[in-house]
Amino acid sequence: MITIKGMGGIEITSDYGHVYLTFIDTIAVISDMYINEASRRKGHGSLLVIECLSIARQLRCSRVMLHVDLDNIPAKKLYEQYGFKKTVVEDHMEVILNGKDQEEAPPSSV
Ligand SMILES: CC(C)(COP(=O)(O)OP(=O)(O)OC[C@H]1O[C@@H](n2cnc3c(N)ncnc32)[C@H](O)[C@@H]1OP(=O)(O)O)[C@@H](O)C(=O)NCCC(=O)NCCS
């Protein structure tokens, strides 16, 4: 079943779990993928991913993104089966504040 949520999101539910699909411009974002424990490893997660990809294609989205913890092996393997690859976050800058990098930084001229 597909339910339209507020803010342009979609909830896709089955008898075994659910997933949310939201949109940022032309990017579809998968979140909250969940299959009931007793029903795992029977292909139900795959069906939800397939449905998300199908909707994203129908809406002519340019890409589908998601966040997955690196140690969540079942989820990572599931997504990899459908072509998902790790991204490099572009256009971000950072300073590390653990002390080490600051000690190694060249001395300030002021
Ligand atoms: C991740 C999750 C959605 C997978 O759902 P599922 O219905 O079990 O997945 P499927 O049965 O469709 O499995 C598809 C593929 O995923 C991978 N996979 C799924 N469970 C796995 C496990 N426990 N260990 C290793 N690989 C696993 C396998 O590659 C599997 O293909 P295969 O069975 O042919 O080997 C489910 O485990 C879950 O709800 N986990 C808790 C919530 C969660 O972590 N959500 C993801 C947030 S990013």
pLDDT value at position 6?
58
pLDDT at position 87 is 84
pLDDT tens track, the chain, 110 positions: 766 665 678 999 999 999 999 998 888 999 999 999 999 999 999 999 999 999 999 999 999 999 998 899 999 999 999 999 888 776 666 677 766 555 555 555 55
Question: Which tokens sit at 28?
Answer: 């579809």
Burial 43-74 (b: 16+ CB within 10 A, else e): eebebbbebbbebbeeeebeebebebeeeeee
What pLDDT does 108 receive?
Answer: 57
**pTM (two decimals):** 0.84
> Ligand 1 centroid to 89 CA: how many Å?
25
- How far is ligand 1, taken at its centre, from the CA of residue 58, in Å? 25
DSSP 69-96: -TT-HHHHHHHHHTT-------S-----
Q: Which ligand 1 atom is at minimum distance from the Cα of 40?
A: 8
Nearest atom, ligand 1, residue 17 CA: 39
Residue 102 has φ and ψ, to the nearest 5°, of: -70, -40
Ligand 1 centre and the CA of 44: distance in Å? 9
Domains and CATH numbers, the chain: 2-104 (3.40.630.30)
